[in-house]
Structure 1
């Protein structure tokens, strides 16, 4: 069957929808908890520069190596070997799974505004059994949609992206009208947090990264693009648009309510802010926006979560069954693996009552290494071919990746080893299936042993 290809409009919507997911509606509260106005501005400047370096690195890679479909995985594999390539694919896939789970948690947390009271909890913070049941239904509806073909899902996502922009634009327009500079500049340095500004900036990093996760969307599905040149264009268009939205949402919020009041708000905090400006119907508008947003972002992330293992399986890094496609050219093997994993996570959340913030931290941590490897790969191939402008772009993206790992803390990085370790067992099984095609180097074997051993030790000590 001839596969339909995705144009620049649908690619841009895929990237933008991946970034402008449920997180933007909780951003005012998330940022107010950890930073004052000064740290918030510095954090966005660092993130904006870093993400633009990363997006530009992907643009250059799409032109310098258009033969590498799949981006995140294939860049790491071609640059640093099969084991590093698998770790990049596994970390990114886990991030995508957790992102999908978090979207479902947020949408049912938002619906609790209409169903819950102090003495009667139905959806709670999106972590009750009722939320799990509703989220599971939505999960398998999206599964059925994506299984009909990636191009079909991408076209629907374009409409959902346009729909979600309506409440965001309304919030920004009303926020400008209600903005109070004295309110914004009060306790500008966040002294009430009892933390120096630089420590506040560090705490904003995983939040600002979280809302930009998805920047690689066009690169991930590059094999399905009509024109390879559209990949870089779509990425830059989406990044600049998202950065403008995030800056306006967070800055305007601190000019509407005091930071402490914002920090204490229930998420989605944008709903509470809009209700402050136009009355109770403001929350209804934001909940509607979240439902549209989650629908679009969930479609985007389901496509990307299924695409990476599918491409990796075709290259021998995942078991052969993950490379299976159906008659609509959908990566059905990878899709089943992804959505069964999401379902298991939903059950675990209902059982352990985990919240959105916990999911945000885990998902953000798992994508740090894949992003770092993108910058390093561009720097490597640009240096070897004497392309110095791409080299400095790659170096800038890599330095941003190192900064993120530092800002998130080494403890989180070590904890991520407990999630990488079981993935390597999958990799070893795939290697056994493809044992006639390649053999691991001694360095790869030592790396696998070190990660599995470290993951086991850290996991045991945390019990």
Structure 2
């Protein structure tokens, strides 16, 4: 279906979607998140690994947008085309749930930030915090129903607004940087060995995944692009800009406070670093920036979540009712289901001891499988030569990029540990009910034999996770 011209997005708007999706709560939390796990050397290695892996993934998205312009629903469509209906569905539902969890993380952190000034909000999971977060959830729901173009324009404004406090923080941190403190923090502990640094690096990897989630924003919205080539350019430009900001925020913080002090900072940690240099006004300034940032980030995730469901329904991988649109061209049915699920997750935070950290790591775990499938499809095209001319020079480069992206995504799943993979299965397995509805209304076979095996793995892992939770072997 052709997108109306007044709903089409420019390169700048697409880039803002990428940046807006990636810059949210994560960048404001990295000083303490890294401080708890590693020192300066480990942080440099972690960002080098994450930056290389995600850059290769960004190049895969860019390549696929050129080679398969007919697949205009991004992350889900590539998995379906490359590996069949059920893995395409798994990619869509996994990414969608990841978006929902990211929105929950945003809502919890908004209230936790307000809790520093108004104790009634506590850590973001008090009754008042959950009630007010629910009001915000449905207010944004009404905004998005007015049209994707309007919501994307607001996202662009929020993206620009949240860059300002980050830029001010970087400027202040440069002025307050102390080389002797950075030197003490460099190894991350008394044991100055490569094995110690390797352990530190592994402990930070899921955090690095979370801050980059959203890199696919332009690809998901490719059907709205004025020019198809803008999709790949927006993805790479947005990624490089965010990577530079993340590295500067992390490394400069190691030159301001000692690692134990960084680790002890409450959320948002960037505010604590700022306050240690300029005084109390720094806490207020960064907290305001965080609220603007997360509100924009929340809006981006809501847009992405609804769009993935809607696109999958139009391509007959989700039930057809999710393809419904309102008079403004907004995927209203998908938006309703998305926000109902977010509301349920929000209520569950009442029972989680560390709701924000759980939502952060679960977002990373849920989105890594879709990322792995996209990278594998890019590698598959380059390996088989499909869409490539005979002896095309760029094919070998694309093969290397795809292979690195596959290794990166698989490595991150391993680094995250079995706990979050089991929790992911608890969400993947019941999510298959939507696939069952879609296949039944199309009167098609539910699974092929390989797909049945994949579903069985999800189901067994989900049962194991539920048993482990019930017996106390795993905790939320």
**TM-score band w.r.t. shorter chain:** over 0.9
Deviations 1:206-262 (A, max 9, x none): 001110100000001111111110001111111111011000001111100001001
Does 2:68 align with 1:47? no
Of 354-363 and 335-344, more deviation after overlay is shown by: 354-363
The Cα of 1:193 is off from its aligned counterpart by 8.6
The Cα of 1:75 is off from its aligned counterpart by 0.3
User: In the aligned structure 2, how far is the partner of 1:11 from the partner of 1:429?
Assistant: 33
Does 2:274 align with 1:274? yes
2:113 aligned residue: 110
Question: Does the 8 Å CA contact 1:18/1:213 hold for their aligned counterparts?
Answer: yes
1:212 aligned residue: 212
Question: Does the 8 Å CA contact 2:72/2:223 hold for their aligned counterparts?
Answer: yes
Matches within 5 A, 1:102-251: 102-116=105-119, 122-191=120-189, 196-251=196-251
User: In the aligned structure 2, how far is the partner of 1:153 from the partner of 1:214?
Assistant: 16
1:392 aligned residue: 400
1:450 to 454, 457, 465: 457
Stretches of structure 1 that go unaligned for 5 or more consecutive residues are 117-121
**Measured at CA, do residues 266 and 439 of structure 1 come closer, stay the same or move farther in structure 2, by a change above 3 Å?**
closer
Deviations 1:343-380 (A, max 9, x none): 11111113445421111111111111111111110111
SS in 2 for 1:114: coil
SS in 2 for 1:179: coil
User: In the aligned structure 1, how far is the partner of 2:292 from the partner of 2:8?
Assistant: 24
Deviations 1:396-427 (A, max 9, x none): 11111111112112343233212211111221
User: In the aligned structure 2, how far is the partner of 1:29 from the partner of 1:92?
Assistant: 27
Does 2:62 align with 1:59? yes
Question: Does the 8 Å CA contact 1:128/1:353 hold for their aligned counterparts?
Answer: no
Does 2:433 align with 1:425? yes
User: In the aligned structure 2, how far is the partner of 1:389 from the partner of 1:354?
Assistant: 43
Does 2:19 align with 1:12? no
Deviations 1:40-77 (A, max 9, x none): 11000111111110101100000000110111100000
The Cα of 1:439 is off from its aligned counterpart by 5.9
The Cα of 1:192 is off from its aligned counterpart by 5.2
Question: Does the 8 Å CA contact 1:421/1:456 hold for their aligned counterparts?
Answer: no
- The alignment yields a C-alpha RMSD, in angstroms, of 1.6
Does 2:87 align with 1:89? no
User: In the aligned structure 2, how far is the partner of 1:99 from the partner of 1:43?
Assistant: 22
User: In the aligned structure 2, how far is the partner of 1:84 from the partner of 1:193?
Assistant: 44
User: In the aligned structure 1, how far is the partner of 2:340 from the partner of 2:233?
Assistant: 34
User: In the aligned structure 2, how far is the partner of 1:217 from the partner of 1:394?
Assistant: 19
User: In the aligned structure 1, how far is the partner of 2:191 from the partner of 2:238?
Assistant: 33
Deviations 1:304-342 (A, max 9, x none): 011111111112221221111111110111101111111
User: In the aligned structure 2, how far is the partner of 1:355 from the partner of 1:415?
Assistant: 14
User: In the aligned structure 2, how far is the partner of 1:111 from the partner of 1:87?
Assistant: 36
User: In the aligned structure 2, how far is the partner of 1:193 from the partner of 1:136?
Assistant: 47
Question: Does the 8 Å CA contact 1:91/1:366 hold for their aligned counterparts?
Answer: yes
2:409 aligned residue: 401
User: In the aligned structure 1, how far is the partner of 2:433 from the partner of 2:191?
Assistant: 43
Question: Does the 8 Å CA contact 2:440/2:446 hold for their aligned counterparts?
Answer: no
Give the structure-2-normalised TM-score.
0.93
SS in 1 for 2:73: coil
Deviations 1:290-310 (A, max 9, x none): 121112111111110111111
Question: Does the 8 Å CA contact 2:185/2:258 hold for their aligned counterparts?
Answer: no
1:119 aligned residue: none
Deviations 1:119-157 (A, max 9, x none): xxx111111111111111111111111111111111111
SS in 2 for 1:191: coil
Stretches of structure 2 that go unaligned for 5 or more consecutive residues are 389-394, 471-476
Question: Does the 8 Å CA contact 1:34/1:193 hold for their aligned counterparts?
Answer: no
Of 207-216 and 188-197, more deviation after overlay is shown by: 188-197
Give the structure-1-normalised TM-score.
0.95
Does 2:419 align with 1:414? no
User: In the aligned structure 2, how far is the partner of 1:99 from the partner of 1:399?
Assistant: 24
User: In the aligned structure 2, how far is the partner of 1:82 from the partner of 1:252?
Assistant: 46
Question: Does the 8 Å CA contact 2:185/2:254 hold for their aligned counterparts?
Answer: no
Question: Does the 8 Å CA contact 2:108/2:356 hold for their aligned counterparts?
Answer: yes
Deviations 1:135-184 (A, max 9, x none): 11111111111111111111111111111111000000000000011101
